[in-house]
Homo-oligomer: A and B are copies of this chain.
Amino acid sequence: MLATIRDVAKEAGVSVATVSRVLNETGYVHADTRKRVTEAMKHLNYSPNEVARSLYKKKSKLIGLLLPDITNPFFPQLARGVEDELQKGGYRILFGNSDENAAKELEYLNTFIQNNVVGIISATNNKSKTNYDGLSIPVVFLDRTSSDYPSVYADGKEGGRIAAEEIVKRGSKRITLLKGPAHIQPAQDRFQGALEELSRSDIDFHVMSTTSFAFEDAEKWAKELFFMYPDTDGVLASNDIVATAILHEALRLGKKIPEDIQIIGFDDIPQSSLLFPSLSTIRQPAYEMGKEAAQLLIKHINKERVHHQHIQMPVTFIERNTTRKV
């Protein structure tokens, strides 16, 4: 059995209060006593029980991290950013995938609370914001905007705008703009940005709606796109996964890239640079976003004054080989 604070107290010949004092460096402890206690701890290989601590203090060193799906290549980077930053602060992660499913989300939120997490980072896009109301612990939304909660997100609208601008500047004349899933807000932002920019230009374009970011679905839309708009010479994809599917289908149809058709993705997931031709895209700084979210959350946990509740991260056009040179 693991040693308890009582075992240590007995071994050191003091009371549990004294042990607790050296443990937490609170109150007065005589140097000699401290030494005896520290030695007893070492001797018994003592490590305080976080559960007992958490019960009394009504707060743990745990935070809840809720992602849509870690299997989507955009999220591991986010998660890693979050973890690296939380790690430094001594926090640990209770992790869940929501699949953008309201029931699952609620279930995880409940277990977070029941386990006394001291904060939550959520990257889900469910409407059910009400899940978070009345939660009494800080919540930071990641990859998602919110007027009610602190949030960290990339400037999707500007990203969409840049993508449109770049593809037009590079000479596409008959553009297809893919509109991502309606319930994924960042997808709508980037769509909106691109839409406005295209509308401002005198370029013909079509809009095609999609309903998921799964590669298997994207393959279908890719086929549909070239069936419906065979003369498309530029595609603004809703993210890199969809862009990859488009790229593949275009190649399969014998189109030359970027000569016959230009493609711009969104996210800059790690594999995008490895495709052939490598994918031009709008980069979101995922790792940094994760870090920012964690920092913001920690500040809220510590009740520090926070000046910017909403951190909008910059997006950048990554020029690779699915776009022509200007």
Q: In the docked arrangement, what's the CA distance between A111 and B51, Å?
A: 10
A55 to chain B, nearest CB (A): 5
Copies of the protein in its oligomer: 2
Contacts A47-B110, A54-B51, A62-B115 given; does A83 touch B69 at CB 8 Å: no
Asked if A93 and B92 make an inter-chain contact with CB atoms under 8 angstroms apart, the answer reads: no
A72-80, A153-161, A307-315: which lies at the B interface? A72-80
Q: Chain B contacts of A55 at CB under 8 A?
A: 49, 51-52, 55
Q: Decide yes or no whether A95 CB sits under 8 A from chain B.
A: yes
- Among B51, B96, B97, B271, the residue within 8 A (CB) of A60 is B51
Q: Decide yes or no whether A116 CB sits under 8 A from chain B.
A: yes
Q: Decide yes or no whether A23 CB sits under 8 A from chain B.
A: no
Q: Chain B contacts of A114 at CB under 8 A?
A: 47-51
What is the total number of residues of chain A having a CB less than 8 Å from a CB of chain B?
A: 46
Binary contact readout A105-116 vs B (1 if CB under 8 angstroms, 0 otherwise) = 000101101111
Q: In the docked arrangement, what's the CA distance between A69 and B70, Å?
A: 12
Q: In the docked arrangement, what's the CA distance between A8 and B75, Å?
A: 40
Q: Chain B contacts of A145 at CB under 8 A?
A: none
Q: In the docked arrangement, what's the CA distance between A94 and B2, Å?
A: 20
Asked if B70 and A80 make an inter-chain contact with CB atoms under 8 angstroms apart, the answer reads: yes
Q: In the docked arrangement, what's the CA distance between A205 and B275, Å?
A: 29
Binary contact readout A86-130 vs B (1 if CB under 8 angstroms, 0 otherwise) = 000000111111000000000010110111100000000000000
Q: Decide yes or no whether A248 CB sits under 8 A from chain B.
A: yes
Asked if A69 and B60 make an inter-chain contact with CB atoms under 8 angstroms apart, the answer reads: no
Q: In the docked arrangement, what's the CA distance between A115 and B114, Å?
A: 13
- Among B54, B96, B113, the residue within 8 A (CB) of A93 is B96
Q: Chain B contacts of A60 at CB under 8 A?
A: 51, 115
Q: Decide yes or no whether A13 CB sits under 8 A from chain B.
A: no
Asked if A47 and B93 make an inter-chain contact with CB atoms under 8 angstroms apart, the answer reads: no
Asked if A111 and B50 make an inter-chain contact with CB atoms under 8 angstroms apart, the answer reads: yes
Q: Chain B contacts of A229 at CB under 8 A?
A: none
With CB as the reference atom, state the residue of chain B lying closest to A91: B111
Binary contact readout A204-215 vs B (1 if CB under 8 angstroms, 0 otherwise) = 000000000001
Q: Chain B contacts of A65 at CB under 8 A?
A: 95
Q: Chain B contacts of A83 at CB under 8 A?
A: 70, 95-97
Q: Decide yes or no whether A274 CB sits under 8 A from chain B.
A: yes
Asked if A92 and B115 make an inter-chain contact with CB atoms under 8 angstroms apart, the answer reads: yes
With CB as the reference atom, state the residue of chain B lying closest to A276: B276
- Among B69, B116, B215, B277, the residue within 8 A (CB) of A51 is B116
A215 to chain B, nearest CB (A): 8
Q: Chain B contacts of A76 at CB under 8 A?
A: 70-71, 73, 75-76
Q: Decide yes or no whether A306 CB sits under 8 A from chain B.
A: no
Q: Chain B contacts of A270 at CB under 8 A?
A: 71, 73, 215, 271
Closest 6 CB pairs between A and B? A276-B276, A271-B271, A95-B95, A50-B114, A70-B76, A71-B76
